[in-house]
Amino acid sequence: MPRFDQWILVFLAFSLHRRQELLGTDDDERFAEYSSKAANQLKLRMPRLYQLYIYCDIVYTYTVVILAFTLYIVIVVLIPASLINAITQSLVLALLLVYLAKGIEKLMKYWNVLIVYQATVLVLMVMFQFMVQSPDFTTSRVKKFFDSWPAWWLTLCHWFGFVKYEDPINLKLLPYVIFFSLAMILAKNFKTKLQIEKRKLYTFEDVDGLGANAQVFRSDPVDIPSYNSKKKTISDSKSFIEEDVVESTRQRRLDELMRADPSGEYDDLEDALIYSYWKFSGTARTTTEILHHKQMLAMRYKLTYMIYKVMKAWPVLDVIAAYFNLLLYVTILSFALYFQLALFWAVALTIYMVAQFINSTHNFNYRQQGRQIFIDKLNAENADLAYERLLKTEREILTDRMSVFEQSKQRKQQLEEIRAQKNRHSQKLLVHRSALVSQSHERVSDKASQQIEMAQIDFGVDNSL
């Protein structure tokens, strides 16, 4: 564990590193070399800490956009209100709309508007303050020129936010400096976030062609001789060569893929870092292994991978997402009824009603479509008929229906006839059956009387007595 003064040194070095990273240096190569060395040292000596740093980095990259927007809005609310800040607020909200509607690429495009606006505001503010704070201002020509203007000009200046600041001028100007610097810093962060999302993944199946190396994953990997370093002897030199050939072809194919997709590029520095890390820890041997580990590193930064990892929560999230608009609607309704009876909430309610109307029509059409498909499926044997029906006119369909009605009528009549016949037949059967039953009864009674007689004879009972 390092001492306290060493920690201070580390912190200073880190801040220096951060500064270089943001503003750039004259000697970029040396900076990269030193940073790679430092990262390697950190990885080897304190892997836990490095892991923690990685996790913090992930959290930072995914909360940076939303944090930026909240910071802007909170600062705008806290500082003295003016027309300049009102425009900032509207601009930030519009950018939020762009980000949510079209994604980060569009946001990066329009973010420059905010940078330019904040830069101009900062420059104007500084110029105005320097002008007003100077002791010669009261006797200057500029003052005399503005005095000749109408009186409401001053009020308009106040509304815009051009006010002479009192003692702590730095503190008053600080929000504008923060706005500008935030806009500048975040533009770079968006770029890195986009790069992470755009990185593509390559598996062995992609590299070797369609499932050429799939056998490796199907069987137990430890039992494969060509991949087991312990079994490498002179007699296995053939397999050595084979492996090298496979390795080289795979490498070539990967290079081709990488060249085809520029978003999947990795710089040499990162290569070297990862290679050294996995070489030192003794887990990687070949270039493909290194590339694979690099992919794992690239993959775990992805938002989609994180979503894939929480697959168990998907059903719950699905239900919440499906019915979230109802929550929004109820909130708007409650605010409209209990907070304020105003045009804003009325318009909001109207928008939602129109949306629900469109939604209901869409749903109805979809249901009708589904119904038609289901009916056609039922009439699978008459698939051609179903297709023909689509080509028919309404009148033809009507006549068809009439014919179907007539046919069903005829069928009903036939059925009735059949039923009548059946009834007659069953009546006949009943008569026949009853006759049979009576005959059998008679037979049974005859048998019984005979048996009784026989028993009487056996036991020697005399009837006459």
Partner 1 sequence: MDFELREEKKADLETERHENRRLKVTDEEVLAEFSSFNAQIHKVSLKSRYFAWYSLMILLIVGLGLVYITSFAHLYENSDVVTPFSEHTKQRMMFFFFWAGTYSDDRDASYAAGVYPYYILMLLLIAERLAQLWIEQRFGCDAALIRKFKQVEKQDQYYRKLALEKRK
Structure token pair of residue 455 = 């028993």
Binder of partner 1 out of 130, 221, 399, 427 (CB under 8 A): 221
Q: Which of residues 8-67 bind partner 1 (CB under 8 A)?
A: none
Residue 76 near residue 85 (C-beta atoms within 8 A)? yes
CB contact set of 243 (below 8 Å; sequence gap of 6+): 226, 227
The reply on whether position 274 binds partner 1 by CB under 8 A is no
Task: State in Å, rounded, how far the first CA of the chain is from the last one.
Answer: 128
Burial of 108 (0-12, 13-18, 19+ CB in 10 A): middle
Q: Kindly state whether residue 240 participates in binding partner 1, applying the rule CB under 8 A.
A: no
**Considering only residues 415, 448, 454, 461, which one is a binding residue for partner 1 as defined by CB under 8 A?**
415
Residue 328 binding partner 1, by CB under 8 A: yes
Q: Which residue's CB is nearer to partner 1, number 48 or number 218?
A: 218
Rounded Cα distance, 194 and 302, in Å: 10
What 3-state class would DSSP assign to 81? coil
One residue of 195, 248, 356, 440 binding partner 1 per CB under 8 A: 356
- The distance of closest approach from Cβ of residue 248 to partner 1 in the complex, given in angstroms and rounded to an integer, is 19
Q: Is residue 165 within 8 Å of residue 80, measured between CB atoms?
A: no
Residue 131 or 333 having the CB closest to partner 1: 333
CB-CB contact of 228 with 93 (8 Å):
no
* Pick 241 or 296: Cβ nearer partner 1: 296
Provide the minimum distance between the beta carbon of 396 and partner 1 in the complex, in angstroms, as a whole number.
20
d(CA 151, CA 162): 15
Rounded distance, CA 388 to CA 397, Å? 10
**Contact flags string 135-154 toward partner 1, x per CB under 8 A:** ---------------xxx-x
Stretch that binds partner 1, among 21-29, 107-115, 174-182, 361-369 (CB under 8 A): 361-369
Report the 10 Å Cβ neighbour count for 72: 23
Choosing from 321, 390, 391, 465, the residue that interacts with partner 1 (CB under 8 A) is 321
86 binds partner 1 (CB under 8 A): yes
d(CA 52, CA 165): 44
CA atoms within 13 A on the CB side of 354: 6
In the bound state with partner 1, the residue whose beta carbon lies nearer, of 13 and 355, is 355
Asked if residue 418 binds partner 1 (CB under 8 A), the reply is yes
State which residue, 195 or 363, has the beta carbon closest to partner 1: 363
Please give the Cα distance from 42 to 18 (Å, whole number): 16
Given 128, 266, 275, 335, the residue binding partner 1 (CB under 8 A): 335
Q: Which stretch binds partner 1 (CB under 8 A): 172-180, 247-255, 298-306, 385-393?
A: 298-306
Q: Which of 60, 130, 280, 366 binds partner 1 (CB under 8 A)?
A: 366
Residue 299 contacts partner 1 per CB under 8 A: yes
